[in-house]
A and B are shown apart, each in its own frame.
Chain A
Amino acid sequence: MAFTNEQLERYSRHIILKEVGAKGQKKLLNAKVLIIGAGGLGSPVALYLAAAGVGTIGIADADDVDLSNLQRQVIHTTKDVGTPKVESAKKTMEEINPDVKVITYHTFVTSENILDLIKDYDFIIDGTDNFPAKFLINDACVMAKKPFSHAGIIRFQGQLMTYVPGKGPCYRCVFRNPPPKDAVPTCKQAGVIGAMGGVIGSLQAMEAIKYILGQGNLLTGYLLTYNALKMEFRKVKLPSNTDNCPICGKHPTITKLIDYEQAECDGVHL
């Protein structure tokens, strides 16, 4: 596949980098990334991956755009209110870069559909807002041996980690089970600064791009935490012994996917 003149110009700032070059840009154009959640995290991920020329981007979300989303979900605009987020996100990505093929999944992810959703993708982005989904994505990616980027944001804080099969701990190594409903603030009553999605989501996009290019060090074996009020990033080393993990350990006790009960404030209109 040769680049068109338009592509050479569009991706010139990538191609000039020795870590990317024409070869790396082709890898990006041939890559397939699935973004689960078209919200605060998913928006910047989708914008940057589309702009970067990631050739196939899947996006899964069951919700419609709500006015209260627009404070942080920067892929949607005021006139998109009331339309499915996946459609709004697809339209924006295609306007940014016609090279990108966007596949929409207007659905919640569940134990029934997730393995089918992720199977054709090279890298998965967890941009969800609730623990049942985060554990489901982790378990499915461990089972299907898919790399993924986990992230969470709340108030003035964010964190992320990258799972690559065989290269370090999974999310469940760190957090064994989802907290009970409403035990940990996750949602709209806690609030979040919109730019937090931009900071952490952009880092998720960076992890996906590095994974595709095969360049640099990923956040495997580390949890990166960001406290905006203290203006402090910390790269916390995670234990490398994953033997006791119930999903990625030596003797897994979780052998099928679990649909945990969702807290009432999770889900729609976050």
Chain B
Amino acid sequence: MKITVAGVNKEVADNLTVAQLVIDEKVETPEYVTVTINDEFVESGAFESTTLKDGDVVEFLYFMGGGQ
């Protein structure tokens, strides 16, 4: 199936979980990433139980702490 991850179209396995996608995408500090699918937040405890569907649009939002 086809999904969009951070603006990039990808072909991925059917029924891919958010948890697996986070691994496949080599997300830095995966425990602290915020994930949205089709403009809705995925609760941080629900990465394992959330499976992606064809056409889903996924974004990763990262903590960025610096500024001084």
Q: How far is the CA of A236 from the CA of B40 in the complex (A)?
A: 12
Inter-chain contact A184/B67, CB cutoff 8 Å: no
Q: Can you give 24 contacting A-B residue pairs, CB < 8 Å?
A: A37-B67, A39-B68, A42-B67, A128-B67, A129-B66, A151-B67, A152-B66, A152-B67, A153-B66, A154-B66, A157-B64, A158-B64, A159-B62, A174-B34, A175-B61, A184-B32, A184-B65, A185-B65, A187-B66, A190-B66, A197-B67, A239-B36, A241-B41, A270-B68
A237 CB within 8 Å of chain B: yes
Residue on A nearest B29 in the bound complex, by CB: A184
Q: Among the listed A37, A151, A152, A173, which residue makes an inter-chain contact with B63, where contact means beta carbons less than 8 Å apart?
A: A152
Give min CB distance, A133 to chain B, whole Å.
Answer: 9
Which residue on chain A has the smallest CB distance to residue B41?
A239
User: Residues on B close to A: CB < 8 A?
Assistant: 6-7, 29, 31-32, 34, 36, 39-41, 44, 59, 61-68
CB of B68 within 8 A of CB of A184, answer no
Partner of B40, one of A42, A153, A185, A241: A241
Is A253 engaged at the interface, CB distance under 8 Å to the other chain?
A: no
Task: Please report the C-alpha to C-alpha distance between residue A154 and residue B66 in the assembled complex, in whole angstroms.
Answer: 6
Q: Which residues of A contact B44 (CB under 8 A)?
A: 176
A residues neighboring B (CB under 8 Å): 37, 39-42, 63, 69, 73, 126-131, 134, 151-154, 157-159, 173-176, 179, 183-187, 190, 192, 197, 223, 234, 236-241, 244, 266, 270
Contacts of B59 in A (CB 8 A): 236-237
Residues of B close to A151: CB separation below 8 A:
67
Is there contact, CB below 8 Å, between A159 and B68? no
Residues of B within 8 A of A39 (CB): 67-68
Contacts of B40 in A (CB 8 A): 239, 241
- Distance in angstroms from B13 CB to nearest chain A CB is 25
CA distance A245 to B40 in the complex (A): 13
A186 to B7, CA, bound (A): 25
**Among candidates B7, B63, B66, residue contacting A175 with C-beta atoms closer than 8 Å:** B63
- How many Å lie between the Cα of A148 and that of B18 in the bound state? 32
Q: Which residues of A contact B61 (CB under 8 A)?
A: 174-175, 223, 236, 238
Taking the closest CB of chain B, its distance from the CB of A234, in whole angstroms, is 6
Contact B6 A129 (CB under 8 A): no
Instruction: Note all chain B residues with C-beta closer than 8 A to A40.
Output: 66-68
Closest residue of A by beta carbon distance from B60: A236
> Do A175 and B34 touch across chains, with their CB atoms under 8 A apart?
yes
Other A-B contacts than A175-B63, A184-B63, A244-B41, 6 sampled, CB-CB below 8 A, are A40-B66, A151-B67, A175-B61, A183-B29, A184-B65, A241-B40
A240-B29 Cα distance, complex, nearest whole Å = 25
Q: How far in angstroms is the closest Cβ of chain A from B2? A: 19
Query: CA–CA, A248 to B28, complex, Å?
Result: 28
Residues in B with CB closer than 8 Å to A183 are 29, 31-32
